[in-house]
Amino acid sequence: MAEEPLQYLLLALSWQNFGVMILGVVVGLVIGAIPGLSPPMAIALMTPVSFGMPPATALIMLVSVFAAGIYGGSFSAILLRTPGTSASAASAIEGYEMTKRGRAIEAIRISTFASVVGGLISGLVLLYLAPPLAEISLMFGPSEYFVTALLGLTAIAAVATGSIMKGLMSGLLGLYLSTVGIDINSGIPRFTLDIVAFEGGIGILPAIIGLFAFAQGMELCEGDPRANISGVSKLSWNIWPKFSEIYQLRWSLMRGWFTGLVMGIIPAAGGSVAQWVAYNWEVRSAKPGDKFGEGEPKGLAATEGSNNGVTGTSLIPMFVLGIPGGISAAVILGALTVHGLQPGDRLFRNNPDVIYTIMWGFILANVLMGFVAVFLARIMAYLTLFPKALIGPLILIFSVVGTYAGTNNIAEIWIMMGFGILGYGMIKYKYSPAGVLLGIILGPIAETGLRDLMTVSDGAPFSFVFNTEDPKWISITIIFLIFVAMYYAMKPKPWEGDAKIEEPTRIDD
Amino acid sequence: MTKAWGEGLSQAVIILFCGWVLWTGAEYAFGGNLLSGFSAGVSILLSLAIVYQTYRERTKELAEKIDFDFSYFALKAWVMAVVIIFYVLLIFQLGYFTSTAIYLISTSYLTGLRDLKLVVMTTAILIPLMYGFFELFLQAGLPEGILI
């Protein structure tokens, strides 16, 4: 069992994969560091770039963006008290307090070590836990996939918006949109409004770019044009970790990493939840002399360890069942589909070279991230000074050009813009763009499952709920109840301490 | 209009849309309307639940009046969305370089950014960089027009 993943390590180290890994890490660090820009948006923008690459290479680039984006978000959280991503919001509490006390570089060092090692451990857990878990999906037939699809989009949508009902409605809108186009069973065009571009169905690429990049670009055009965050220019940038610092924080780091690993596996929990759970645990483990809220390195170590500890394990439910562990994982799932790969056991059986190469790519990207950050640290700090009024239009341009480059079809640009406007409206009215995307991705699976279910149940689909002879249903129900219970148990409470953090955007994770 | 009424109104629009989905889908054979019907049906139930919840809660926030702000500042994001439509139309007439430069300079004016040096520098660096990346590195064709 241990040997199989190892034989694919060399594939991940090919010059092509290594090149895109560096590209992904640089893009992730840069975009993550800019407040208001999020890893899902970075992944969305890089998806058309991945066109033309082999699937493994493309996915390596996207998971590298993801890992580096989460880490990059900590820079602005620590230096400016403005989290680059929502997964870094808790780091802003202790991190910024350390910066105020002249300990910025120490905070960055702790963050770098906690993030790199957390991501590394998380990647190894992904590598060795995902394949055996994938066998669970063998128990699933089309009907089970229908329920799993509903569970997935309920979970992610609920966490993303804070309103289960609005989140679920977003997912249902996605399911509906997935039915647009010619029905393969009857050959009849559905909901196309006689527009030829809709006959082939709604593409995932314009949906990803529109919902996550264009919408955020529009949002950035709002407000004060001169809005940027100033303050950091004269710092020394030696961010190699010091053994003494790490040794003092060893238990905090371990608590953070452990929290991240566990929270990542729970669908939809993600880094945004994990950081607060880890911080809460750390505060409760405080010893006399610890000064939480006043720049306590233990708090920073735990939050930084947890938000990158999540990254690898959040890909487990995505690869195994198609239920993403967070919003970034949902966008990666979309890219996976765009490249013709379907999650589940078949992915591991039919494409082991692809999936293991991606996982090794993720692990290596985490190591690379630390080295690249050493060289980019100063640039990342300056990037936080870039005015949002210029970044917004640039993202809109990149969305248009990226969609056209990926599809060579002007109709897809209009569809992408439609999704962008929809996404912007959804953000404003507290609906979930992630739910819509997931609905579009899971729609075909759900539709096949629902059709089979109606046939098997002879038009009485609810009979399966009470089918106690089939243990699969009992298992699914128990898993669902555990998810619900864990979600409510670990749902982050609004921080009521002195350091109140405003999250820059909700399209984050 | 209070926020509670606004919520009720938006849910009414959603219910109408779902009704249209159910009505249109009714003619699709071989179970072609199952998933869309399921989505629309559950959405109607959820909309009704949201309306019920809104009026049951009667919080202070929901009782507040909606502040309709039609100032340029409030509508800036929408203005940018309209401008990008012109950009898409222009890019196929004038070409990538010219239309992107025009777009970036004009949007910086529209967003209120007056740092011309920064805008020109960004335009000069990023436009060729993006062109090189997509056209030369990825060999994905970018729109061409009468100019470059």
The answer to whether the CB atoms of B113 and A176 lie below 8 A apart is no
Q: Give 3-state DSSP helix, strand, coil % of chain A, rounded to 5.
A: 70, 0, 25
What pLDDT shows up at residue A498? 39
Q: Give tens-digit pLDDT for A44-85.
A: 888 888 878 899 999 999 999 999 988 888 887 787 776 666
Residues in CB range of B102: below 8 A, 6 or more apart: B90, B94
Identify the domain boundary among B46, B63, B80: B63
Residue A500 inside a domain? The answer is: no
Residue B143 inside a domain? The answer is: no
B133 and B85 in a single domain? The answer is: yes
Residue B117 inside a domain? The answer is: yes
- Determine the Cα–Cα distance for residues A421 and A299; give it in Å rounded to an integer: 39
Residue A495 inside a domain? The answer is: no
Flag whether residue B14 sits within 8 Å of chain A, measured between CB atoms.
yes
B46 and B85 in a single domain? The answer is: no
Residue B34 inside a domain? The answer is: yes
Residue A133 inside a domain? The answer is: yes
Residue A509 inside a domain? The answer is: no
Domain count, chain B: 2
Lowest mean pLDDT across A21-25, A475-479, B32-36, B43-47: A475-479
B85 and B59 in a single domain? The answer is: no
What pLDDT shows up at residue A461? 60
B56 and B84 in a single domain? The answer is: no
Flag whether residue A446 sits within 8 Å of chain B, measured between CB atoms.
yes
Identify the domain boundary among B38, B63, B88: B63
Flag whether residue B31 sits within 8 Å of chain A, measured between CB atoms.
yes
φ and ψ at residue B134, rounded to 5 degrees: -80, -50
B127 burial level (CB within 10 Å; 0-12, 13-18, 19+)? middle
CB B130 within 8 A of CB B81: no
Flag whether residue A432 sits within 8 Å of chain B, measured between CB atoms.
no
Nearest to B76 among A221, A396, A408 (CB): A221
- Determine the Cα–Cα distance for residues B16 and B22; give it in Å rounded to an integer: 10
The answer to whether the CB atoms of B35 and A387 lie below 8 A apart is no
B119 and B78 in a single domain? The answer is: yes
B104 and B49 in a single domain? The answer is: no
- Determine the Cα–Cα distance for residues A317 and A224; give it in Å rounded to an integer: 40
The answer to whether the CB atoms of B138 and A52 lie below 8 A apart is yes
B76 and B59 in a single domain? The answer is: no
Which residues make beta-bridge pairs with A181? A190
Flag whether residue B124 sits within 8 Å of chain A, measured between CB atoms.
no
Q: Which stretch of DSSP H or E encloses residue A189? A: strand A189-190
Average pLDDT over residues A101-129: 89
Residues of chain A with pLDDT > 70: what percent? 78
Distance of residue B147 Cα from the nearest chain A Cα, in angstroms:
17
Residue B142 inside a domain? The answer is: no
B49 and B12 in a single domain? The answer is: yes
Residue B147 inside a domain? The answer is: no
Flag whether residue A472 sits within 8 Å of chain B, measured between CB atoms.
no
B58 and B76 in a single domain? The answer is: no
The answer to whether the CB atoms of B88 and A413 lie below 8 A apart is yes
Tokens of A207: 């949906």
B52 and B102 in a single domain? The answer is: no
Range of the domain at B79: 72-137
Q: Tokens 């610092």 label which residue?
A: A245
| Residue B1 predicted with pLDDT over 70 | yes
Average pLDDT over residues A221-239: 57
Nearest to B143 among A191, A404, A429 (CB): A404
Nearest to B35 among A49, A175, A224 (CB): A175
Q: pLDDT-based confidence at A155, cuts 50/70/90?
A: low
| Residue A30 predicted with pLDDT over 60 | yes
Residue B98 inside a domain? The answer is: yes
Angle, to 10 degrees, between the axis of helix A471-490 and the axis of helix A142-161?
A: 10
Tokens of B48: 């009704």
Residue A128 inside a domain? The answer is: yes
Average pLDDT over residues A106-123: 91
Residue A397 inside a domain? The answer is: yes
Q: With a CB-CB cutoff of 8 Å, which residues 201-240 of chain A face chain B?
A: 217-219, 221-226
The answer to whether the CB atoms of A417 and B81 lie below 8 A apart is yes
Q: pLDDT-based confidence at A203, cuts 50/70/90?
A: confident
Q: pLDDT-based confidence at A258, cuts 50/70/90?
A: very high
- Determine the Cα–Cα distance for residues B40 and B20; give it in Å rounded to an integer: 9
What pLDDT shows up at residue A163? 73
Lowest mean pLDDT across A118-127, A276-285, A456-465: A456-465
Flag whether residue B93 sits within 8 Å of chain A, measured between CB atoms.
no
Q: What is the dihedral of CA A419, A425, A430, A436, to 10 degrees?
A: -10
CB neighbourhood size of B70 (10 A): 6
Residue B124 inside a domain? The answer is: yes
Domain count, chain A: 1
Range of the domain at A303: 3-490
Q: Give tens-digit pLDDT for A338-350.
A: 888 888 888 888 8
Flag whether residue B26 sits within 8 Å of chain A, measured between CB atoms.
no
- Determine the Cα–Cα distance for residues A494 and A49; give it in Å rounded to an integer: 38
Residue A507 inside a domain? The answer is: no
Residues in chain B with CB shorter than 8 Å from the CB of A398 are 130
- Determine the Cα–Cα distance for residues A193 and A111; give it in Å rounded to an integer: 52
Q: Write the ipTM.
A: 0.92
Instruction: Give the count of Cβ contacts less than 8 A between chain A and B.
Output: 162
B56 and B77 in a single domain? The answer is: no
Residue A125 inside a domain? The answer is: yes
